[in-house]
Amino acid sequence: MKIASVEQFFPRHRTRLVKITTDTGLSGWGESTLEGKPESVEGAVRELADYLVGKDPLRIEHHWQHMYRSAFFRGGAILMTALSALDQALWDIAGKHYGVPVYKLLGGAVRDRILVYAHWGIGSLAEESLAAARERLDLLLESGYTAFKSGPGGKWRGHEPPAVIDHFVECAFLMREWVGPEVELAFDFHGKMTPALAIEICHEIKDMRPMFVEEPVPQENVDALKLVSDHVTFPIATGERLLSRWEFRQVFEKQAAAYIQPDGSHAGGITELKKIANMAEAYYIHVLPHCAIGPVAFTSCMHVDAVIPNFLAQEQVDWALGADILKQNWQVVDGHIELPDKPGLGIEIDEKAVSNRVPYQEELGGEHFYETDGSVADW
């Protein structure tokens, strides 16, 4: 069996896919979505496809090593996203070839279903905003969700006046009031804070007992992250912009975070996601894989979630459940998704639905990247 072709599909704004087809007719799917850099990844996939065509698709580890190590420049978001998508597709082929779900090739499941958390929050105390937040919460609670993530929106400078901080804190406590103490609430700071501001805000919300605060500071400086962790009494999480086990190494060795959030479509695919999780286990660090893109990425994460003992919860955005791309959408029951039982990734792509090329649109307009004084703001 040899790889015959590598194709790319662009069906949604935040969903880019690859399809590897073999000369025996087996095919596998992966997700190559990189938020903000879609065209760059398209070129990287083409470059790696030149290597893959004609090769045995079952030599997954060998191909991963080649795609990562064979060029002088390694890593980076663009290469790792392309590599991740192709790795996912190869695992999909392997599962279909052997007639088992991918997680059975990874050592077998240690759990029967996957806990997922949804995005929900109160962004404003205005009457219209509160009504919309209440409506979405009721809808999610009907599916049994027991964990939600939100965050302070907009731009945040080196420090903000009390009114800005107090508004976010009031919204956070109102969220706790609405859901009660049995539901987990987490907050994503999107790396927008300085250590001092992050610590201040974490102290303000500690009494509502967050599940975690994610990316309180930018990801480049592990010591700054540890500074926040050392001054906060609840868990700190990070990792969606770290791209391999080598980039996670300092987080582990410095015990800079309680939880990590590697992205299965950016950190090296199924192969590397499992290695990162296994490495974290030795440091008693739990894993909440990041996934804010499409259903193939989400499904790939769940296969790793199934086999790692230090899994905590899986991020899930609405369109990751299927988004008219899967012939059968994932179903959330009691806040969980049952393990797939079909071979490979266990999903079937509607190829007619993914045939049109939908242009990528940045979520935020250019004006949002500047402060009122004209200086550049973090995303």
| Tokens coding 59 | 């030599």
Specify the 3-state DSSP secondary structure of 20: strand
Phi and psi of 320, rounded to 5°? -70, -15
Return all residues near 292 (Cβ < 8 A) that are at least 6 apart: 14, 35, 315, 317
Catalytic member of 290, 303, 336, 368:
290
| Tokens coding 54 | 């004609």
Catalytic member of 190, 203, 231, 303:
190
Return all residues near 1 (Cβ < 8 A) that are at least 6 apart: 22, 23, 24, 26, 56, 57, 58, 97
Phi and psi of 323, rounded to 5°? 55, 35
Beta strand residue intervals within the chain, DSSP E: 3-12, 15-22, 27-31, 113-119, 147-150, 184-188, 212-214, 236-238, 259-260, 286-287, 314-315, 336-338
290 catalytic? Reply is: yes
Return all residues near 33 (Cβ < 8 A) that are at least 6 apart: 14, 15, 16, 41, 81, 265, 293, 294, 297
Residues classed as catalytic = 190, 290
